Amino acid sequence: MLNGKLSRKRRGYIALMRTLMYACAALICALVLFLIAFVLVKGVPNISWELLSTSPSYLKERIGILPDILNTVYIVIATLFIVLPLGVGAAIYLTEYAKNKRFVAFIESAAETLSGIPSIIYGLVGMLFFCQFLGMQTSLLAGAMTLVIMNLPTIIRTTQESLKTVPQSYREGAFGLGAGKWRVIRTVALPGCVDGIITGCILSVGRILGESAALLFTAGFAHALNGIFEGLTSAGATLTVALYVYAKEQGEFGAAFAIAAILLGLTFLINLAAALTQRYFRRKKAL
Amino acid sequence: MKDKKKAFERAVHGVFLILGLTSVCCVLLITVYLIISGIPAIHEIGLIEFLFGTTWASTAAEPAYGILPFILTSVYGTAGAIVIGVPIGFMAAVYLAKVAPPKVKTVMESAVSLLAGIPSVVYGLVGMLVLVPGIRKMFHVPDGASLLAAIIVLAVMILPSIIKVSVTALEAVPKEYEDASLALGATPVETCFRVSVPAAKSGIAAAVVLGVGRAIGEAMAVMMVSGNAANMPSLFQSVRFLTTAVASEMSYAAGLQREALFSIALVLFLFIMLINATLNFFLKRSKEG
Amino acid sequence: MKKIISLLVVGVMAVAMLAGCGVTNSGGRVSTDGSTSMEKVIGALGESFMAENKNVTFTYNPTGSGSGIKAVLEGRCDIGLSSRSLKDEEKAQGLKETILAYDGIAIIVSPANPVSDLSLEQIAAIYTGEITNWQDVGGNDASIVLIGREAGSGTRDGFESITDTVDACQYRQELTSTGDVITTVSQNPDAIGYASLASVKDSVKMLSVGDVTPSEGTVKDGSYVIQRPFVLVTKDGTALSETAQKFFDYITSEAAADIISAAGAVAAN
């Protein structure tokens, strides 16, 4: 209970801080609303079935983003295909096998270093290593490999976190029943960390969708319509790269905003999926 | 039979060990490649001339490869983004963590998550069409593509990470601290700023580190709004950052120019490692202190 | 829930594979890389080539003339595209040029700019910074904002050599593509820029140079002086793949001249 009045100084301070807080929160809300509204208003009118289902044509003066959509799907599949075994394997090693605490800390700090490197440097090294040294040329596959390294820390972290939530007693029980270490991991630890793996996947997909600097030099920006295997070995633009090219290099803002609106929608869906999965698994684990 | 099983287990252990070392290998790969590609040009141009030369004219008849303009632009740009982004983000985080009603909080947090997930090129797109003409009209400069535009875009981009990490840090402050403060007669707002915030200091510092890392490494969005001329940084001048310097000339550079670009990437990489190491060092010290 | 997720994943992969399988091109490939000014021309040519030859994949990477020359030298593409002639040192590295078409470089300003004609000397003076205000050439009282291309650009090379301003231009912005220059100039009433005639859109106004309006006709008869060749770059001594050679012959033939004209350039054949 407040006894007596507050001093003027205190009241002034409280009022100032209060105003600042509300102002900043309001500013952020306004910013988000403006961005979403601007992108949607400029983008949605340009989204047509024609845009979504055809490739760009110079002769017919038409822009279509079907190749970009397919390229994005291919690169997501390829990246996840490679990063999941690597990341989950590394996480398993860190939680189940590694005994030396300093070694574990060393590997974890390496993973953290990876997540701090800017994407343009990934693009550069990816171009040097995957495209030129390994001879993959400018291709979706080279882009996927670069994205693998970028998303490795995410997968490792989320898998590790959920592996840690598997009670040690489960493992000890399995050991007590005579199972070898690999069997224990396969039957006890892995099923227990599925939620971490899925969360990691969703986060990675979100990151892959938003990535452009790393892909610009490794996957190029071609718009050829390909099957998955053909597509992976040739250059291709993903949606985000296509957005950059249409906006900055060609001045086709209609198409650029349409892609931006699509990406906005996809980001929203991914966030929703992540939140729902987390809630589902939290409920399941609480049982 | 037992030997076979043991051998199998050993093999599995080996496989996982290799997988565990992948991240270390990747870091080594990146570092080694950058150093190998970056050193030759620095050697040929001369370290002092490279780092402190003020003219970059990579394709002139008499090429000059001084990257001081880029270094300063990146530093000023990041500093500007932090100066604008951290206070706003921090205040908003305090609001979210302490003051906001639960429904508002959920809505705002999903809005912030959306902001965090938007690809940087979308920010660049909006910046190109709204911010650049806006700056030109508001400040009566001939052209709006400038350091200021880049700073504003960067500030908006780092807001979500700052807010998220700060909110987590603030929510982790033990309730007893706040209860004690209220019991001693402080108002909720005073408790908030005089007790909770200092207690969450290390988390907020981590948020700043994250923001710095993101701002200094951003290339695409900045390339779309900053004009790309290799000038010494000035608020309304067209500028080039370390990141955009690499991105804009990479596709056609050859010979020494190309190697100089790798050196720029190396400098950027070392910069970021240095900043992270220094900030983390201070964080650890304040944690122990 | 797990079942639903795994079904979803399998479903997405199946759809992707099926969508892809339906359009597999198992035929030849021809890859081109380079000049952004040539985009419309080479894009149209590539498309009609693909329409006439089933199962052929044509790709074009818009990276700039300098980059295209480098790409063909390093073997990363079949045919390089350059919007300027090859330099001597490039020819010495074993590259061969074949002129595909001629293209004018239009000097563009915003439609809001009252100026509509400049002489070559005035343009050079503007770009070197001698003239800095529009009113000195008959326009509004405003600083001139100079927009140009990046250092490896064929368009920049052509512009600077014809106006004799090599290494002397004081650009406010150095952009990496023709489309970008057009966009930037269209948004700024005080800007001036140069871009490929074939790519100019209605969002900007073209200036006449010395009272000569840029058009296909004036480029062809040479009266519009700011022009440069669209060049196909190949490696001397190395034969092209069958598909690439077929494409090469097709685009340098007379049959392709109409497509080139429709795209805004002047065919060389």
CATH of residue B173:
1.10.3720.10
The per-residue pLDDT for B1 is 66
The per-residue pLDDT for C15 is 61
Reported as type and span, the H/E element at residue B65 is strand B64-65
The per-residue pLDDT for B263 is 92
The per-residue pLDDT for C11 is 66
Residue A46 lies in a domain: no
Whether residue B245 sits in one domain with residue B102:
yes
Whether residue B135 sits in one domain with residue B73:
yes
Tell me if ipTM is over 0.90.
no
> Do B132 and C175 make contact, defined as CB atoms within 8 angstroms?
no
- Whether A96 and chain B come into contact, CB under 8 Å, resolves to yes
> Do B91 and A13 make contact, defined as CB atoms within 8 angstroms?
no
**What are the backbone angles phi and psi of residue C252, rounded to the nearest 5°?**
-95, 5
Mean pLDDT of A194-221: 88
Residue B55 lies in a domain: no
The per-residue pLDDT for A186 is 84
Residue B184 lies in a domain: yes
Name every chain A residue with its beta carbon within 8 A of the beta carbon of B192: 17
Q: Given the DSSP bridges, would you call strands C57-62 and C29-34 parallel, antiparallel or unpaired?
A: parallel
Q: Residue A106 and residue A158: Cα distance in Å, rounded?
A: 18
pLDDT in tens, B98-143: 888 899 898 999 899 899 889 999 999 999 899 999 998 898 888 8
Name every chain C residue with its beta carbon within 8 A of the beta carbon of A74: 16, 20
Residue B91 lies in a domain: yes
Residue B23, domain extent: 2-50
> Do C57 and A234 make contact, defined as CB atoms within 8 angstroms?
yes
The model's confidence at residue C24, banded by pLDDT at 50, 70 and 90, is very low
C-beta of residue B211 within 8 angstroms of C-beta of residue A39: no
Whether residue B74 sits in one domain with residue B116:
yes
CA distance A267 to chain C (A): 18
In whole numbers, what is the pLDDT of chain B averaged over residues?
87
Q: Residue A80 and residue A86: Cα distance in Å, rounded?
A: 10
For residues B203 and A70, the model is more confident at A70
**What are the backbone angles phi and psi of residue C20, rounded to the nearest 5°?**
-70, -45
Whether residue B252 sits in one domain with residue B131:
yes
CA distance B273 to chain A (A): 8
Name every chain B residue with its beta carbon within 8 A of the beta carbon of C151: 58-59, 249, 252
Residue A33, domain extent: 7-37
**What are the backbone angles phi and psi of residue A192, rounded to the nearest 5°?**
-70, -20
- Which of B23, B105, B209 to mutate: most A Cβ within 10 Å? B23
Residue type, C140: N
The shortest CB-CB distance from B145 to any of C64, C166, C173 is to C173
The model's confidence at residue A30, banded by pLDDT at 50, 70 and 90, is very high
The shortest CB-CB distance from C145 to any of B58, B142, B251 is to B142
pLDDT in tens, C89-98: 888 888 888 9
> Do A137 and C60 make contact, defined as CB atoms within 8 angstroms?
no
Q: Residue A122 and residue B269: Cα distance in Å, rounded?
A: 10
Whether residue A183 sits in one domain with residue A123:
yes
pLDDT in tens, C134-157: 988 888 888 899 999 887 788 888
Whether residue B273 sits in one domain with residue B143:
yes
CB half-sphere exposure, B254, CA atoms < 13 A: 14
Name every chain C residue with its beta carbon within 8 A of the beta carbon of A251: 179-180, 182-183, 186, 201, 203
Residue B104 lies in a domain: yes
- Whether A35 and chain B come into contact, CB under 8 Å, resolves to yes
The per-residue pLDDT for B130 is 92
Tell me which range, A234-238, C51-55, C122-126, is most confidently predicted by mean pLDDT. C122-126
The percent of residues in chain A predicted with pLDDT above 70, rounded, is 98
Contact partners for chain B, using 3 or more CB pairs closer than 8 A, are A, C
The model's confidence at residue A259, banded by pLDDT at 50, 70 and 90, is very high
Whether residue B262 sits in one domain with residue B127:
yes
Whether residue B43 sits in one domain with residue B162:
no
pLDDT higher than threshold 60 for residue B81: yes
User: Whose structure tokens read 């001048």?
Assistant: B237
pLDDT in tens, B146-185: 899 999 999 999 999 899 888 888 888 888 888 888 888 8
Whether residue B277 sits in one domain with residue B142:
yes
The shortest CB-CB distance from A224 to any of C22, C48, C57 is to C57
The per-residue pLDDT for C22 is 43
The per-residue pLDDT for C5 is 61
pLDDT in tens, A261-275: 999 999 999 999 988
Q: Mind spelling out the 3-state secondary structure of chain C?
A: CHHHHHHHHHHHHHHHHHHHHCCCCCCCEEEEEECCCCHHHHHHHHHHHHHHCCCCEEEEEECCHHHHHHHHHCCCCCEEEECCCCCHHHHHCCEEEEEEEEEEEEEEECCCCCCCEECHHHHHHHHHCCCCEHHHHCCCCCECEEEEECCCCHHHHHHHHHHCCCCCCCCCEEECCHHHHHHHHHHCCCEEEEEEHHHCCCCCEECEECCECCCHHHHHCCCCCCEEEEEEEEECCCCCCHHHHHHHHHHCCHHHHHHHHHCCCEECC
pLDDT higher than threshold 90 for residue C59: no
pLDDT higher than threshold 60 for residue C23: no
Mean pLDDT of B265-273: 91
How many other CB atoms sit within 10 Å of the CB of residue B105?
Answer: 15
Q: Residue A216 and residue A119: Cα distance in Å, rounded?
A: 10
CA distance A230 to chain B (A): 24
Whether residue B146 sits in one domain with residue B32:
no
Name every chain A residue with its beta carbon within 8 A of the beta carbon of C19: 70
Q: What is the pTM of this model?
A: 0.87
Whether residue B159 sits in one domain with residue B30:
no
Whether residue A69 sits in one domain with residue A32:
no
Residue B120 lies in a domain: yes
The per-residue pLDDT for C211 is 85
Q: Residue C96 and residue C80: Cα distance in Å, rounded?
A: 10
Among A127, A285, A112, residue whose Cα is nearest residue A214: A127
pLDDT higher than threshold 60 for residue C18: no
- Which of B140, B141, B143, B238 to mutate: most C Cβ within 10 Å? B143
A77 CB-near residues (< 8 Å, 6+ apart):
A228, C12, C13, C16
List, as ranges, residues 192-231 from B with C-beta within 8 Å of A. Answer: 192-193, 213, 216-220, 223-224
Mean pLDDT of A10-34: 89
Name every chain A residue with its beta carbon within 8 A of the beta carbon of C10: none
The per-residue pLDDT for A14 is 85
CA distance C223 to chain B (A): 30
Mean pLDDT of B269-284: 83
